[in-house]
């Protein structure tokens, strides 16, 4: 068949010289060229490089340390993470770890929860998204506290420790952290830190509670298996279910976990 092909293929040239990076990596390290045509916002926070760029097909995109996090075309990300239609959030108490783009908070507030507390380390992310990602976060990042939610700026590990010491337990914890969360203390490698976040989260869940999080790309089975091994070795026995969705700005199928205490 290939020998009979009438067409010849040529590789497009690599584009250079833009003030923003057109090439971002997929979860399995493949490079993808995005149709970015504008740098909307750029700053270096104490924790990471924060950029918002405009893509012709995806709208504004939040990029943290050169990794794509959320775009205006990614409602499916928040909906799959929260398992919209399958979980009931009415009158529930919820904690979000990270989530600085405000997308998850905005979507959860539509489900009439009792209270949501968002623990996000980076004020620069919150302010940039509040200004330039409004189709994602609505107006929920404009205020830091209302009768329905509170946004606490700081390391979620410290806030989780406070909750553990106070014996404060909630119905849902969402792990909406960057793929490699920011550690403000020397916690060994990234997996140790992820383990710490998972163990701390289990301690603030009611016995009926759930930990909801994003895993990795479906093209990274080894990394997903490692995550599942970590889940099987937590301080308490847990069981989990999985779901998946194609995330437009990731250009790949992403795996999401729903973890509950056994
Ligand atoms: C923007 S959200 C969304 C994650 C996402 N959609 C993705 O693609 O990975 C991730 C947030 O986690 C926050 N974060 C990372 N480490 C943290 C920590 N230790 N405590 C609180 N927030 C943290 C980052 O600042 C970032 O805003």
d(CA 235, CA 104): 27
Each of the 262 residues of the chain gets a pLDDT tens digit; together they read: 567 878 888 888 888 888 889 999 999 999 999 999 999 999 999 999 999 999 999 999 999 999 999 999 999 999 999 999 999 999 999 999 999 999 999 999 999 999 999 999 999 999 999 999 999 999 999 999 999 999 999 999 999 999 999 999 999 999 999 988 998 887 778 999 999 999 999 999 999 999 999 999 999 999 999 999 999 999 999 999 999 999 999 999 999 999 999 9
- 102 within 8 A of 74, measured Cβ to Cβ: no
Q: Which two tokens stand for residue 187?
A: 């916690």
Q: How many angstroms does the Cα of residue 96 sit away from the middle of ligand 1?
A: 10
196 SS3 class: helix
d(CA 167, CA 103): 28
Q: How many angstroms does the Cα of residue 98 sit away from the middle of ligand 1?
A: 4
Distances (CA, A) of 238 to 200, 207, 212, 215, 245: 13, 11, 13, 16, 23
For atom 6 of ligand 1, the residue with the nearest CA is 69
Instruction: State whether the Cα torsion 163-178-246-260 is positive or negative.
Output: negative
Ramachandran angles phi, psi of 69, nearest 5°: -110, -50
Pocket of ligand 1 (CB under 6 A): 64, 69-70, 77, 97-101, 119-122, 125, 155-157, 176-179, 181-182
Give the pLDDT of residue 43: 98
Give the length of the chain: 262
Q: How many angstroms does the Cα of residue 27 sit away from the middle of ligand 1?
A: 16
Q: How many angstroms does the Cα of residue 99 sit away from the middle of ligand 1?
A: 5
Domains with residue ranges and CATH for the chain: 11-71 (2.30.140.10), 75-261 (3.40.50.150)
Distances (CA, A) of 173 to 206, 246, 250: 10, 23, 24
For atom 3 of ligand 1, the residue with the nearest CA is 99
Q: Which atom of ligand 1 is nearest to the CA of 126?
A: 27
Residue positions annotated with a catalytic role = 176
Give the pLDDT of residue 1: 52
Q: Which atom of ligand 1 is nearest to the CA of 101?
A: 1
- 99 within 8 A of 116, measured Cβ to Cβ: no
- 101 within 8 A of 129, measured Cβ to Cβ: yes
Q: What is the DSSP string of 118-180?
A: EEES-HHHHHHHHHH-HHHHTTTTT-SB-SSEEEEES-HHHHHHHHHHHT--EEEEEEE--SS
């Amino acid at each position: 068949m290939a020998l009979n092909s009438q067409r010849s293929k040529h590789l497009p040239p690599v584009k250079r010289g833009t003030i923003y990076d057109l090439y971002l990596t997929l979860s399995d390290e493949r490079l993808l060229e995005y149709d970015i045509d504008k740098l909307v916002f750029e700053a270096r926070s104490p924790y990471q490089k924060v950029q918002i760029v405009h893509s012709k097909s995806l709208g504004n995109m939040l990029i943290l340390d050169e990794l794509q996090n959320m775009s205006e075309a990614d409602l499916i990300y928040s909906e799959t993470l929260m398992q919209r239609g399958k979980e009931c959030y009415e009158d529930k108490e919820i904690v979000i770890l990270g989530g600085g783009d405000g997308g998850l908070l905005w979507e959860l507030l539509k489900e009439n929860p009792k209270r949501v507390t968002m623990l996000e380390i980076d004020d620069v992310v919150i302010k940039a998204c509040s200004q330039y990602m409004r189709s994602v976060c609505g107006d929920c990042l404009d205020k830091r506290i209302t009768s329905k939610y509170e946004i606490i700026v700081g390391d979620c590990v410290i806030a989780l420790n406070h909750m553990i010491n106070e014996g404060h337990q909630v119905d849902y914890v969402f792990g909406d952290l960057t793929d490699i969360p920011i550690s403000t203390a020397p916690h060994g490698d990234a997996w140790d830190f992820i383990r710490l976040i998972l163990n701390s989260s289990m301690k603030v869940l009611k016995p009926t509670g759930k930990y909801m999080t994003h895993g990795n790309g479906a093209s990274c089975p080894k990394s997903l298996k490692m995550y599942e091994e970590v889940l099987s070795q937590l301080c308490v026995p847990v069981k989990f279910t999985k779901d998946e969705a194609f995330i437009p700005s990731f250009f790949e199928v992403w795996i999401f976990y729903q973890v509950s205490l056994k």
